[in-house]
Amino acid sequence: MTRAWNFSAGPAALPLEVLQQAREELTDWHGIGAGIMEVSHRGKAFTGVIETAEADLRELLAIPENYKALFLQGGQTLQFAQVPMNLSAGGSADYLVTGAWSQKAYEEAARIGGARLVATTENNGKFLRLPDFANLPFDREAAYFHLCTNETIHGVEVHEDSETKLFEAISAVAPGVPLVADMSSHILSRPLDVRRYGLISAGAQKNIGPSGLTLVIIREDLLGRAAAGVPTLLDYRNQADHGSMRNTPSTFAIYIAGLVFKWLKARGGLAAIAALGREKARRLYAAIDGSGGFYKNPVDPACRSTMNVPFTLPDAGLEALFVKESEAAGFIGLKGHKSVGGIRASLYNAVPMEAVEALLRFMEDFRAARG
């Protein structure tokens, strides 16, 4: 069997053990004579799968009782619309822009209702830092405050210390305003204090499972606020009341997510996975910074992402060669996002340390040959 060193940004590497178990169970899940994706979502088999997945997720993230965990569809992009449809009901919501994804969220919300740009860190087309949260002009009347806590394309992450600063700042100035976060590309990479947020959402295809599944964690008092005319399927209250089964859910993706949650628990939960994740990122950034300027990551070190590490080489020709040679050497997914170019290595939970070590060796050899 050949598995590449997979650094894809999403859809991304899944744990090998999870894929192997899914392969084992593909045609006959637990002796029922059919695969789990071939049976009714209302039957005993799948109901057990979704309930166990939810219970494991709740345990991993310590989700409090007064929050619903919903397994939806439409990707994080639909959340950019669904959030304002459900939460802003004629009022205005605050948006912080720190990269391409929060920019998209802001633009979508502006189409739907009142969206106010609180701040953008964009500078000459680049996003390299976080703002000083303490000095943001929060609106005390805002329906919510939206941010993306890990910008997948620009490699900017709100780490725990910054998250605390944001939480303290908004609690002091606009205490009733719920925080709403797109955590697509770093959810489950570290422990999280869910109580700080009104709503957390994530497309599954990075740290959770296959694309097609979207996770929404929502505080119960925010249910039932959908604007008039919002389609039934897009009303969080409706989905919560039907256990994420207002229509047929993405059963196979939920099943795989459930296996990923078990895999995370078996590895010691989020504190253990976070320690490993920090070490993977530390070693890659150290290699970039120690390359004598051959490799460069321009992001403020205080908010460099542990999950998505974009970097450049001296010119576009060398970057193209790097991608080509890396593919020949058994790597996939290292080409940077088309909007920013360069290289990007995504270090999600399922990317093992051995993959990072292989990448570091490749980078060193490449620099020695071409630097």
Active site residues: 101, 182, 206
| Count of residues that bind ligand PLP according to CB under 6 A | 11
Query: Does residue number 152 form part of the binding site for ligand PLP (CB under 6 A)?
Result: yes
Query: Sheet containing 92-97: which strands, arranged edge to edge?
Result: 67-72, 214-219, 199-203, 179-182, 145-148, 92-97, 114-120
Query: Does residue number 54 form part of the binding site for ligand PLP (CB under 6 A)?
Result: no
Residues 320-339 that bind ligand PLP (CB under 6 A): none
Q: Please state the closest distance from residue 3 (CB atom) to ligand PLP, in A.
A: 22
- With CB under 6 A as the contact rule, which of the stretches 64-72, 180-188, 292-300, 357-365 interacts with ligand PLP? 180-188
Q: Which of 8, 98, 184, 346 binds ligand PLP (CB under 6 A)?
A: 184
Give the pairing type, strands 179-182 and 150-151: unpaired
Query: Does residue number 210 form part of the binding site for ligand PLP (CB under 6 A)?
Result: no
Closer to ligand PLP by CB, 76 or 312: give it: 76
Q: Which of 77, 92, 120, 164 binds ligand PLP (CB under 6 A)?
A: 77
Written as six digits, the tokens of 130 are 């976080």
Written as six digits, the tokens of 112 are 């739907």
Q: Which of 6, 10, 143, 217 binds ligand PLP (CB under 6 A)?
A: 10
Q: Across the chain, where does the E strand assignment appear?
A: 5-6, 67-72, 92-97, 114-120, 122-123, 126-127, 145-148, 150-151, 156-157, 179-182, 199-203, 214-219, 308-311, 331-332, 343-346
Query: Does residue number 182 form part of the binding site for ligand PLP (CB under 6 A)?
Result: yes
- With CB under 6 A as the contact rule, which of the stretches 14-22, 74-82, 237-245, 363-371 interacts with ligand PLP? 74-82
Closer to ligand PLP by CB, 149 or 251: give it: 149
Looking only at Cα atoms, what is the longest distance across the chain? 63
- With CB under 6 A as the contact rule, which of the stretches 58-66, 72-80, 220-228, 299-307 interacts with ligand PLP? 72-80
**Dist CA 66 CA 69 (whole Å):** 10
What 215-218 contacts at long range (C-beta under 8 Å, 24+ apart), as own/partner pairs, is 215/57, 215/69, 215/70, 215/71, 215/72, 215/187, 215/257, 216/68, 216/69, 216/70, 216/72, 216/79, 217/61, 217/63, 217/67, 217/68, 217/69, 217/70, 218/67, 218/68, 218/70
- Exposure string of 251-265, with b = 16+ CB inside 10 Å and e = fewer, is bbbbbbbbbbbbbbe
Q: Please state the closest distance from residue 339 (CB atom) to ligand PLP, in A.
A: 12
Give the pairing type, strands 145-148 and 179-182: parallel
Residues 82-101 that bind ligand PLP (CB under 6 A): 101
- DSSP secondary structure letter of residue 51: H
Written as six digits, the tokens of 153 are 């394309």
Closer to ligand PLP by CB, 234 or 318: give it: 234
Query: Does residue number 148 form part of the binding site for ligand PLP (CB under 6 A)?
Result: yes
- With CB under 6 A as the contact rule, which of the stretches 13-21, 71-79, 122-130, 273-281 interacts with ligand PLP? 71-79
Q: Please state the closest distance from residue 7 (CB atom) to ligand PLP, in A.
A: 14
**Dist CA 139 CA 155 (whole Å):** 27
Bridge partner list, 70: 216
Nearest to 230 by CA among 74, 110, 83: 83
Closer to ligand PLP by CB, 150 or 262: give it: 150
Closer to ligand PLP by CB, 82 or 251: give it: 82
Query: Does residue number 203 form part of the binding site for ligand PLP (CB under 6 A)?
Result: yes
- With CB under 6 A as the contact rule, which of the stretches 119-127, 131-139, 179-187, 362-370 interacts with ligand PLP? 179-187
Query: Does residue number 138 form part of the binding site for ligand PLP (CB under 6 A)?
Result: no
Query: Does residue number 239 form part of the binding site for ligand PLP (CB under 6 A)?
Result: no
Closer to ligand PLP by CB, 10 or 258: give it: 10
Footprint on this chain of ligand PLP (rule: CB under 6 A):
10, 75-77, 101, 148, 152, 182, 184-185, 203
